[in-house]
Amino acid sequence: MIQGSIKKQVEESITTKKLLIESGLNDIEEAAVLLIDAINASKKILWCGNGGSAADAQHLATELMGGMSDHDRKPIPSIALTTDSSFITAWANDTDFNSIFSRQIQGIGDAGDVLIGISTSGNSENVINAIRQANFKKLKTITLTGKTAGRIDGLADITIKVPSDNTQRIQECHIMIGQILCSLVEESVL
């Protein structure tokens, strides 16, 4: 019984990734080129998301700063906007939660930087606000989301849609896409 459930979930993951190959390769390639161009122009990469997407943002920012396969290479400027707990809790307490990322972009985002917003549903208000603020400040923007992309659809320069409605499958693909993007950026600076 348990093995059957395990097999079914692995097969669903494989199917979703095969569908992503069919529908998402061009968007992933475009995102990689945008990131590489930004790094070559001495810009930084910012990340945001909530819950598991916040964890992905932190994980992927770390890959670029620290090094995936080469810890001797120069660090690639990359910041997860999810990590300053003092700012996030103070700002959310004193004002609202929906502007925790956009406020940080106001402070540290520069034209030509890249913001990657991760939202499984595409309806995370604080990620939507972050993309809007980034667009206003002339940052480049990328979103990782699910099949419908929710309300975030069309707001970013590049939207990478995982062709699924299943949260787990979408999140599995988001971390895979993020790892691919980071590896391509890292390869470009080696």
Question: Please, what are the domains in the chain?
Answer: 2-189 (3.40.50.10490)
Return the C-alpha torsion angle 87, 152, 12, 50, nearest 10: 10
Concatenate the DSSP letters of all residues of 78-108 into one string.
EEETT--HHHHHHHHHHT-STTHHHHHHHHH
Helix (H) / strand (E) element for 116: namely strand 114-118
**Which residues, in sequence order, are CB contacts of 120 under 8 Å at separation 6+?**
52, 53, 145, 146, 167, 170, 171, 174
**Single-letter code of the amino acid located at 156:** A
pTM: 0.96
| pLDDT (tens digit per residue) in 60-114 | 999 999 999 888 999 999 999 999 999 999 999 999 999 999 999 999 999 999 9
Residue given tokens 């939507």 in the structure block:
128
| pLDDT (tens digit per residue) in 128-159 | 999 999 999 999 999 999 999 999 999 999 99
